[in-house]
Amino acid sequence: MSNQTIPLDAETKAIEMPDDHRDELRLWLRLLTCSTLIEGEVRRRLRDRFDVTLPRFDLMAQLDKVPEGMTLSDLSKRMMVSNGNLTSLVDRLVASGHLERRVSTTDRRAQIIKLTPAGRGEFRAMATEHEAWIAEIFGGLTQREQKDLMRLLAKTKLSARNAIMGVAP
Amino acid sequence: MSNQTIPLDAETKAIEMPDDHRDELRLWLRLLTCSTLIEGEVRRRLRDRFDVTLPRFDLMAQLDKVPEGMTLSDLSKRMMVSNGNLTSLVDRLVASGHLERRVSTTDRRAQIIKLTPAGRGEFRAMATEHEAWIAEIFGGLTQREQKDLMRLLAKTKLSARNAIMGVAP
DNA sequence: CACAATTGTTTTATGCTTAAAATAACTGCA
DNA sequence: TGCAGTTATTTTAAGCATAAAACAATTGTG
């Protein structure tokens, strides 16, 4: 398809370079670094403070938003993880008393998963601290910068989705 | 520590809200969504086009930058993964002929890992396509927007590092 | 030299993640 | 009704990831 870039080094742009995509690559690596850095710190704190993993926290966060609960399939769509993944995750959270599952009355294949009162209480406590951690982590940015970043990330998300889904021509 | 501004923008702010960090939370979730979305697509394409996983690609990318190779410890620092993690990853890539390991001449504990010529050739081919994918994914942003995003992410990285390490007072 | 501390790597136990295959229940329709 | 196709979930096999423990070799210091 494309002619590849001839990797002359950093400052030598005098010579022509048909497809230079290194700026985008740097941008992606920086985005990934930020994400990895923050995610790692959140994992660490959840573990140290509450002895909980991020996947379990995320799962409870989804359920907290929907008090009546939802099926495993709904949950897997919302969390953007595979269905099989959730089976064992939910199992463990049921075993620890955070979640409750009951078979749907209208569809015997499906199960409705929801937080137990205890699970909800525990989650809320964690969520409050979690929110403060995130505020601390982004504290070096001004309101204005946060707003700009938000906008640029929204645009990035759209751009990525188009590249992934294939943009309708 | 800091008194935060009370963001009076949305509709629900008549009632008092002592610590509202929801904007930062939204920002973090958006950053994470972008990162997850792009990473997932890169994984998918690496797998479909080259039958290689992202961790293996990343490992080879690090080694491609240093032709003389490096120790497992150096590699784990650069890749920000645990040492034990690399053991099996390197094993597999040695088995498939992409990597070569030899015991250091100066330190009998250490091993120098490097790409084989075949491994390097294969990696270069993958890297070229990979770079084009990333350019495609970020293609919806103007040069200006990319530059702004780069700057804001640099600042985010700094801010996060400060929160993590504990900023020197 | 001796030996404590450090450094480089592997092993172990545990958990998350996926894709693909298997199982079970539901739905639409001839 | 019967049955093909779809949908909900679980199982399986493989890989990635970590922390902590174990081991081995090196370094620094009295």
- Confidence at residue A6, expressed as pLDDT on a 0 to 100 scale: 45
Q: Do B31 and A35 touch (CB under 8 A)?
A: yes
pLDDT in tens, B106-147: 999 999 999 999 999 999 999 999 999 999 999 999 999 999
- Confidence at residue B16, expressed as pLDDT on a 0 to 100 scale: 53
A64 occurs within a structural domain: yes
A81 occurs within a structural domain: yes
Question: Taking residues A46-72, what's their average pLDDT?
Answer: 95
- Confidence at residue B11, expressed as pLDDT on a 0 to 100 scale: 47
A106 occurs within a structural domain: yes
State the pLDDT confidence band at B19, using cuts at 50, 70 and 90.
confident
pLDDT at A100 over 60: yes
Question: Taking residues B19-41, what's their average pLDDT?
Answer: 92
What percentage of chain B carries pLDDT values higher than 70? 87
| C-alpha dist (Å) from residue A36 to A42, B25, B35 | 10, 16, 9
Write A63-67 long-range contacts (CB < 8 A, 24+): A63/A99, A63/A113, A63/A114, A63/A115, A63/A119, A64/A115, A64/A120, A64/A123, A64/A124, A64/A127, A66/A114, A67/A114, A67/A115
A127 occurs within a structural domain: yes
B35 occurs within a structural domain: no
Chain B, residues 124-143, CB within 8 A of chain A, namely 128, 131-141
A33 occurs within a structural domain: no
Q: Does the beta carbon of A149 lie under 8 angstroms from any beta carbon of chain B?
A: yes
> B11: which DSSP letter?
S
State the pLDDT confidence band at B5, using cuts at 50, 70 and 90.
very low
CATH label of the domain that carries residue B65: 1.10.10.10
| B72, B113 contact by CB (below 8 A) | yes
> B68: which DSSP letter?
T
- Confidence at residue A165, expressed as pLDDT on a 0 to 100 scale: 79
Provide φ and ψ at B55, rounded to 5°.
Answer: -55, -40
* Total domains in the fold of chain B: 1
Which range in A3-7, B5-9, B75-79 is most confidently predicted, on average pLDDT? B75-79
Closest listed residue to residue B75, CA positions, set B64, B63, B84: B63
- Confidence at residue A54, expressed as pLDDT on a 0 to 100 scale: 96
Does the CB of A36 fall within 7 Å of any strand D atom?
Answer: no
Mutate to test the interface with B, among A21, A42, A64 (most CBs of B within 10 A): A21
Question: Taking residues A9-37, what's their average pLDDT?
Answer: 78
State chain A's mean pLDDT as an integer: 88
B85 occurs within a structural domain: yes
Question: Residue A18 carries which side chain, given as an amino acid letter?
Answer: P
State the pLDDT confidence band at B15, using cuts at 50, 70 and 90.
low
| A160, B41 contact by CB (below 8 A) | yes
User: How many other C-beta atoms can be found within 10 angstroms of the C-beta atom of residue B46?
Assistant: 19
State chain B's mean pLDDT as an integer: 89
Q: Do B145 and A155 touch (CB under 8 A)?
A: yes
What is the CA B132 to chain-centroid distance, rounded? Answer: 17
B82 occurs within a structural domain: yes
Nucleotides of C under 7 A from a protein CB: 7-13, 15-21, 24-27
pLDDT at B74 over 90: yes
Any idea which nucleotide's C1' is nearest the CA of A82? C18
pLDDT at B6 over 50: no
Residue-range definition of the domain harbouring residue B119: 52-133
Q: Residue A46: list chain B partners with CB under 8 A.
A: none
- Confidence at residue A3, expressed as pLDDT on a 0 to 100 scale: 44
- Confidence at residue A18, expressed as pLDDT on a 0 to 100 scale: 57
Question: DSSP of B13-47, one letter per residue?
Answer: -SS--S---HHHHHHHHHHHHHHHHHHHHHHHHII
> B3: which DSSP letter?
P
Q: Do A140 and B157 touch (CB under 8 A)?
A: no
Question: Taking residues B38-61, what's their average pLDDT?
Answer: 95
Q: Residue B131: list chain A partners with CB under 8 A.
A: 5, 21-22, 24-25
- Confidence at residue B1, expressed as pLDDT on a 0 to 100 scale: 45
CA/C1' separation B65–D29 (Å)? 39
Q: Looking at chain A, how many residues does it have?
A: 169
